[in-house]
Amino acid sequence: MANRPLSPHLQIWKWGPHMLVSILHRVTGDGMAFVALPVLLWWLGALASGPEAYATFTNAATSPIGYLVLVGISWAFFNHMSSGLRHFVMDIGAGYELKTNRGWSIGSIAIGFILTVAFWAAIVLL
């Protein structure tokens, strides 16, 4: 038996958008679990605790760091959603061709950014 790895590793694979989308899907899922969920629970707790607690939350959320966190959470949501739709299409057996897979990969990243920008534009303009 040859002394080699049983499966290819990162030094062998040629990086492509499909790998980036797969990694981003995992990272955004973790980000929503470990960042978005506590922020949501803080917001709900502040909402239920009265005006002073809610004022504390809104002061934190409307600070520059708070906006950065909220934009990051919304990007994570939209990116995870578009990547999830890509995975759903692949689960039904479509989109495995190289050109189609590459197009869906780039498109899911672009859709995540576009939806984030549209979401925040709607918030700011309304």
- 51-74 pLDDT, tens digit per residue, is 999 999 999 999 999 999 999 999
pLDDT digits (tens, 9 = 90+) for 66-123: 999 999 999 999 999 999 999 999 999 888 888 999 999 999 999 999 999 999 999 9
Q: Are 116 and 82 in contact (CB under 8 A)?
A: no
Q: Are 79 and 109 in contact (CB under 8 A)?
A: yes
Both tokens of 125, joined, read: 């303009």
- Cα(89)–Cα(121) distance, rounded to whole angstroms? 29
80 annotated as a binding-site residue? yes
Both tokens of 29, joined, read: 């899922």
- Cα(97)–Cα(73) distance, rounded to whole angstroms? 32
Predicted TM-score of the model (pTM): 0.86
- Cα(54)–Cα(29) distance, rounded to whole angstroms? 27
The fold of the 17-125 domain, in CATH, is 3 helical TM bundles of succinate and fumarate reductases (1.20.1300)
Cβ contacts of 9 within 8 Å, gap of 6 or more:
none
